[in-house]
């Protein structure tokens, strides 16, 4: 009888040890999974930060080039007043300025609304966009020049317009009341493309504005000029 009880006690002890080991392994797996998610989030942030730095560097280089052209032109005008054709003419300077403005027009850095609005939700890992709360019918404008690449309506975004820009950027405008453009049409920066609405999975009138660069969502705060 004693041996029988002893056997049961040993079985119970081994069972408890097995359960305890399983719990420890499960906790370790959860910790590893959380660390993996944290590392992935860190890489995503670093990639977005790198894209932002590269964009800012390009803008600084463009500004430096323009300043250099302007300085050369002014210096040439000052030192060579008797020369009929300076090294950099006013026409050439105007061309460079137009090129610079054209490049800027392709970057989605313009607030895509006309009139009063409030930022109701900003960029996050779960919400890779900005939400602009505004009355239904508020004018929605193209944040940059580009081609209308997609026009559709679904249960989540409702009526949506997507613009493809010529420098790897795509901008998305969702929950619209009315779409005023058609696919394959070229639109200028600041051109009216839609009206604010409350379509799709939306609890109140607002514009869902998303910027995507090379397939990765970018925080509009890094680009928008307000």
Residue 171 buriedness (CB in 10 A; 0-12 / 13-18 / 19+): buried
Q: Distance (Å, rounded) from C-alpha 84 to C-alpha 104?
A: 33
- The two tokens of residue 226 are 């307000």
pLDDT digits (tens, 9 = 90+) for 71-107: 665 565 555 555 444 455 666 655 555 565 555 667 8
pLDDT classification of 223: cutoffs 50, 70, 90: confident
Q: What is the pLDDT of residue 195?
A: 97
| 184 compared with 38, residue with greater pLDDT | 184
83: left (phi over 0), alpha (psi -120 to 50) or beta: beta
Q: What is the pLDDT of residues 186-212, one digit of tens each?
A: 999 999 999 999 999 999 999 999 999
0.75 exceeded by pTM? no
Is residue 115 a contact partner of residue 134, using CB atoms and an 8 Å limit?
yes
Q: How many CB atoms lie within 10 A of CB 218?
A: 24
Q: Which residue has the tokens 């910790």?
A: 31
Q: What is the pLDDT of residue 83?
A: 44
Query: Which residue in 9, 224, 10 sits closest to 123, CA to CA?
Result: 224
Closest CA to 136 of 197, 209, 201, 204: 197
Residue 220's pLDDT is 92
């Amino acid at each position: 009888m004693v041996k029988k009880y002893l056997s049961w006690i040993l079985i119970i002890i081994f069972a408890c040890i097995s359960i305890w080991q399983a719990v420890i392994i499960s906790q370790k797996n959860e910790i590893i999974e959380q660390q993996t998610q944290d590392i992935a989030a860190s890489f995503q942030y670093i990639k977005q930060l790198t894209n932002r730095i590269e964009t800012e560097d390009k803008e600084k280089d463009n500004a430096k080039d323009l300043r250099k052209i302007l300085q050369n032109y002014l210096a040439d005008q000052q030192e060579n007043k008797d020369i009929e054709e300076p090294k950099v003419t006013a026409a050439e300077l105007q061309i460079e300025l137009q090129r610079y403005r054209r490049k800027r027009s392709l970057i989605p850095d313009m607030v895509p609304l006309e009139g009063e609005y409030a930022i109701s939700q900003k960029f996050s890992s779960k919400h890779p966009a900005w939400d602009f709360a505004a009355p239904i019918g508020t004018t929605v404008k193209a944040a940059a020049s580009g081609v209308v690449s997609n026009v559709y309506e679904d249960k989540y975004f409702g009526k949506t317009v997507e613009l493809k820009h010529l420098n790897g950027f795509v901008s998305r405008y969702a929950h619209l009341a009315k779409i005023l453009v058609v696919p394959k049409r070229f639109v200028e920066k600041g051109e009216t493309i839609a009206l604010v609405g409350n379509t799709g999975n939306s609890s109140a009138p607002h514009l869902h504005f998303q910027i995507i660069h090379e397939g990765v969502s970018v925080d509009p705060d890094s680009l928008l000029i307000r």
